[in-house]
Each structure stands twice: as structure tokens, then as C-alpha cells.
Chain A
């Protein structure tokens, strides 16, 4: 069965420093997609970055980059130059491989606190 594991319940980082949020996944399907979402205290899930299993390069979106290590089945999110507004829950998710619905399977999340 497909599964997403986020082992860091909470992380602290100093403003302007970089931070890595860990995510490992489990699937036997060769075709899959991985997402990171940010959830502020307001509750809305905000899409950050996407990595397809066949993408040749690691995804980057502004200050966000994804450290994709396919053999290790990991897709860690790197946030560079942290800002106070980055304080939020971060969820790693996988699009259900082989399914027709493209539903997302989420991890349990990591709460990031950016300190001034």
C-alpha cells in the first residue's frame, strides 16, 4: 500500500537560515507524483512544489526546492532563507499511483517554527 512518512513532528529554524523537512514514501508503482503543501493556522492548504517520478531534475520554486532521491524513496523539502511567514504545518503528499482519481495520500505533517 502507498504510504507517506514524515518523521519530524516539529522543527525550529532561525530566520534567514535554510531548513530541510523530511519525507519518505512507499510505492511499488514506477509512475507517481509527489507534492508539498503548506497549511497556515488559517487552515487552507497551499501548494508549494511538485516532483514527478520521471522528472530528470529536482524541482525548484523560488525559495523551495525538493531533494528527490528516488533510490532512497525520499523527497525532502528545502526552504532557503526562512521567513517568519514560513511558520506553518507542512505536508508531503503522493498522488495515488495507478488510480483514476489522482487522490492525494498525505503524511502526518511537520510543524515549522521560524524564530526571529
Chain B
């Protein structure tokens, strides 16, 4: 399978704990995006990487959130001191900049539940 993969698929954690999610994009894609989707809503942009550089962060990304893409390949999203409001689906997507459409290919998402 050469699509975007995300791990874990599901994560249940207690409030106050730290969690980390991983995204492996399609290998030749140098653009990587994180989105968050809450129940009944469309995905909302969190952050964007071009290769290893994090070029944009949404205001939704509070200080408790940090994302990295150390070698321009996989990316991690860490949430520190989780809150119940962090419960959501976290989606990763990747794309090629040369494509006219710049279609973003999405992974299956990580569903986070904070209890």
C-alpha cells in the first residue's frame, strides 16, 4: 500500500496526558498537512510542511501542540497536557507541488478521545 498512513488509528487518553501521532506521507510528496476534524464539521487546517520546514501554523495550534518533520519524510504531531476539547479526528495529507490540481491525498486519520 503506497498511500498515506497514520498511526495509531485510535487513541484513548486521560486528560493531562501527552500523546503523539505519526504520519507517513506518499514517498515522493514533499508537502505535508495536518488537519483536525471534530464531530459534524469539516476538517480544519492545523499546520503545513514543505520538506522539513514548517511554513504555516493555524491559530488553532495552541502552545500545547507541536509538529515536526525531521527529515522531510514522516511527521509527528504531539499534544501535551491533553484536554477534552482535543478529542477529534486528526488527519494527515500529502501532495506534490508540481501537480496543477495539487490534490491532497489523505490518510485514514487518528481518532483521539480524551477522557
Contact = CB atoms under 8 A, between A and B. Distances in A.
Given A45-B91, A50-B101, A103 B33 contact: yes
B40 interface: yes
B89 A93 contact: no
A1 interface: no
B42 A43 contact: no
B40 A108 contact: yes
Contacts, number: 63
A101 B43 CA distance: 16
B61 to A, nearest CB: 13
Nearest to A47: B103
Interface string B72-115: 00000000000000000101010101001111111111010000
Given A44-B109, A45-B93, A50-B103, A106 B42 contact: yes
A32 to B, nearest CB: 12
A33 B44 CA distance: 17
Contacts of A105: 45
B21 interface: no
Interface residues of A, number: 25
Interface residues of B, number: 29
B45 A43 contact: no
B31 A102 contact: yes
A97 interface: no
Nearest to A106: B42
Given A46-B106, A103-B48, A104-B35, 19 more contacts: A33-B101, A45-B93, A47-B104, A47-B105, A50-B101, A52-B101, A93-B42, A95-B102, A101-B33, A102-B95, A102-B102, A103-B45, A103-B56, A104-B33, A104-B43, A106-B43, A107-B42, A108-B41, A109-B42
Interface in B23-71: 31, 33, 35, 40-45, 48, 50, 55-56
